[in-house]
Amino acid sequence: MGAMKFRSVYLMFVLPAVALYAIFFIYPFVATFFASFTSWDGISAPVFNGLANYVHLFNDSVLMSGIGRILIWAALAVIVKVGLGLVFAAMLRDRIAGYKFFTGVFFFPVVISSSAMSLVFTLMYDKDFGIINQFLGSIGLGFLKQAWLSNPDTAFYAAIAVPIYQDIGFFLIIFLAAVQDIPNEFYESARIDGASPFQIFCRVTVPLSLGTVRVCVILAVTSAFKTFDYIFLLTSGGPGTSTQVPATWMYQQTFQAFQYGYGSAIAMLIFVLSLAVSALIMSTSSFNKVRIPSKMKLQETVA
């Protein structure tokens, strides 16, 4: 076979994409990095202040609490979005009756905009006529009725339930493509050996989907770290600061308090946290090893 030859004419097709990427991604990132070392109100000339903004990060109680919240958010996103996505994909793998209907129902929320979804859930959470409180009252649990987005104890979990619910269908589609690529021989062998559906899921589907699980975990975690719109639309960080996360706090410090330098430092912190968590997940050995179940192991599981 002949060696591939590079021709300079190909740059004509590559350069427009590279230019757009440099203008809209690389340049803003570099500008934000340098701005994080300045004291700047967005109007007057920025003043270099060294590491003052980064020192302030670790003394900011609101930001530190927000980091704790996104860690909780990331954990719940992995458990619910990735976990249920894999479970539902395993259930739909054999194209059961109503396969297209269920796939469409699960994926439908994904195509709805975050603003529309937030509006729907704001109405559902309403204390007086929201469907959630109405349902609780109809089953005799009226004492649980409350203003879900106004109560500091429930506001954060009520807010993050929206993006977690909305993204389940996205992960379902990813896992559905992965599990349908698993050879049928593994499933047939497991059924012949008498394995239950739960045993087949644990000993065949999960081990052979670990590569996809790793990608989905990274997507779920980084999405939680950088999400801004749902918190902003549902609670704006309130009541008080009970739902503030780094992204919304960055917005408030930058565009409301006019501390562009400090807001840039928060942005860089979000980037570093996302990068560090992604690298940690990528380096986890359990995700890097594909376990192919043998017939003997399946028999031991059934026994």
Q: 203: domain CATH number? A: 1.10.3720.10
When divided into structural domains, the chain yields a total of: 1
Neighbours of 290 (CB within 10 A): 10
* pLDDT level of residue 302 (50, 70, 90 thresholds): very low
Q: Tell me how far apart the alpha carbons of residues 70 and 156 are, in angstroms, rounded to a whole number.
A: 10
Per-residue pLDDT tens digits for 212-251: 999 999 999 999 998 899 999 999 999 999 999 999 999 9
Contact 102, 92 (CB under 8 A): yes
Per-residue pLDDT tens digits for 139-157: 998 888 999 999 999 999 9
Residue 60 is given by DSSP the state -
Please report whether residue 204 resides in a domain: yes
Could you tell me the two tokens for 66? 């927000």
Q: Domain range holding 287?
A: 59-302
Please report whether residue 42 resides in a domain: no
Contact 29, 22 (CB under 8 A): no
Per-residue pLDDT tens digits for 4-18: 676 777 788 888 999
Please report whether residue 11 resides in a domain: no
| pLDDT given at position 67 | 95
| pLDDT given at position 12 | 82
Angular region, 140: left φ>0, alpha ψ -120 to 50, beta rest: left
| pLDDT given at position 301 | 42
Please report whether residue 94 resides in a domain: yes
Q: Is the model's pLDDT at 298 over the cut of 60? A: no
Please report whether residue 39 resides in a domain: no
| pLDDT given at position 89 | 93
* pLDDT level of residue 296 (50, 70, 90 thresholds): very low
State pTM to two decimals.
0.86
Which residue, 159, 172, 180, is CA-closest to 108? 172
| pLDDT given at position 109 | 93
| 130-133-138-139 Cα dihedral, nearest 10 degrees | 140
Please report whether residue 1 resides in a domain: no
3-state DSSP assignment of residue 38: strand
Please report whether residue 118 resides in a domain: yes
Please report whether residue 25 resides in a domain: no
Contact 39, 52 (CB under 8 A): yes
Q: Tell me how far apart the alpha carbons of residues 210 and 203 are, in angstroms, rounded to a whole number.
A: 12
Q: Which residues contact 151 (CB under 8 A, 6 or more apart)?
A: 239
* pLDDT level of residue 267 (50, 70, 90 thresholds): very high
Q: Tell me how far apart the alpha carbons of residues 212 and 99 are, in angstroms, rounded to a whole number.
A: 21
Q: Average per-residue pLDDT in the chain?
A: 88
Q: Tell me how far apart the alpha carbons of residues 10 and 298 are, in angstroms, rounded to a whole number.
A: 52
Per-residue pLDDT tens digits for 85-98: 999 999 998 877 78
Q: What is the mean pLDDT of residues 125-148?
A: 91
